[in-house]
Amino acid sequence: MSKEIQQIIEKLNSFAPDEKAILATVIDVVGSGYRRPGARMLIDKNGYGIGTVSGGCLEADVLERAKKVLQTNTPTVITYDTTKDENSLFGLGMGCRGIVRILLEPIEKEKSLVRHFQDVVEDRTRLCIATMITSSRAVTGGRMFYSAEDYEEEFDFVNLPNDIEKLEDLKNDCRTFYKDNKTPEVRRYKIGDDDFEIFFENIIPPLELKLFGAGYDALPLVKFAKELGWRISVVDHRPAFANAERLPEADQIFAAKIQDLDDHFFEDENSVAVIMTHNYDRDREILPRLLKSEWLYVGALGPKKRTEKILAEVGETFSAEQLEKLHAPVGLDIGADTPEAIALSIVAEINAVLKNREGGFLRRRQGSIYGRNEQ
């Protein structure tokens, strides 16, 4: 879950019971666009916005259109097309040439969408959302929510006709979209004479950084990770280091050794870990346990030979998959030589790994910088 969605939830939770705002969601991008499908912006009654739907060229017009949607209380989809005119509102001479569609809808803190977002954060469970975009008879903004935790699937329908709720093709697509954790996209369906479009997106819990070691160089890593909207759990056996006064931005702090942590701590699959204890014996206790977890990434501070020596001394056999997620030395090669620069290289590497990127120069990348072919 992006930081902007977390900020939107926080803002909506501060609303009075009858207070409304407009939620803008990018649902489709063909060609060039600064933000991708799933990007969101909340616009309150005073015109104050949280989040963005472009690089700044669309926001002013979106704000004006949001006022009308707030008055009519009717969701709508707006389209910006500059494929033929580079000097239009979207282009503004910046070279953006594409088609962007944005859903504008009234929202309040009691709306089902907000409740489901909150469940993702609190329960740390994934969610697939299928949103009605265009239809001759269904409500724009009607939704199907789908989750399948612990092999028990659950559908929740809001403002969708019964025949669409029962459409097996739609349900099966939602199951597949969820299972494969696909990136957002629009799909088309047909029932009788009704052609309609559904916007699919997967919402995952905020990434959690499990940080082992709370020394001086851990502090900027916590700050950078928090700026990205990640959750932070810090583990250090020294109470003088592992405390809220030193780590005010951490979500959880454990003044404990790794042996003192229960199994629940290691169950959250949407987690990454970084070891920076600067203590060889501690690292030898920590590293094997992390490699056995289901976490997505394990980074270890220090020279490569140091980590290789630890693995040799542990005397355990690790699978190729377990070793593949180990990054030691941790971080991208950016010449980092200060705690702040090292922290920057670490969060950049984690982001690159999770996005299946190499972390190289964008100017050398072939094709779209978003990892898909621009149309």
CA distances for 231 relative to 72, 205, 213, 225, 334, angstroms: 38, 9, 16, 8, 25
- What's the pLDDT at 364? 86
* Average pLDDT of adjacent 10-residue blocks, the chain of 375 residues: 91 91 92 80 90 82 92 92 59 59 92 92 92 88 90 91 93 94 93 92 96 96 96 96 96 95 91 97 96 95 95 92 96 95 97 92 78 42
- What's the pLDDT at 94? 42
The highest-level CATH class for domain 208-354 is alpha beta
Whole-prediction pTM value? 0.85
- What's the pLDDT at 371? 59
- What's the pLDDT at 165? 93
**Contact partners, residue 341, CB within 8 Å, separation at least 6:** 334, 335
Pinpoint the alpha helices (H) of the chain: 3-13, 59-72, 112-123, 162-165, 168-179, 218-227, 280-291, 304-314, 320-324, 339-354
- What's the pLDDT at 109? 87
Question: What is the Cα–Cα distance from 177 to 37, expressed in whole angstroms?
Answer: 15
- Ranges of each domain in the chain: 3-107, 112-203, 208-354
- What's the pLDDT at 193? 87
Question: What is the Cα–Cα distance from 97 to 341, expressed in whole angstroms?
Answer: 35
- What's the pLDDT at 152? 86
Residue 40 structure tokens: 């969101």
- What's the pLDDT at 93? 44
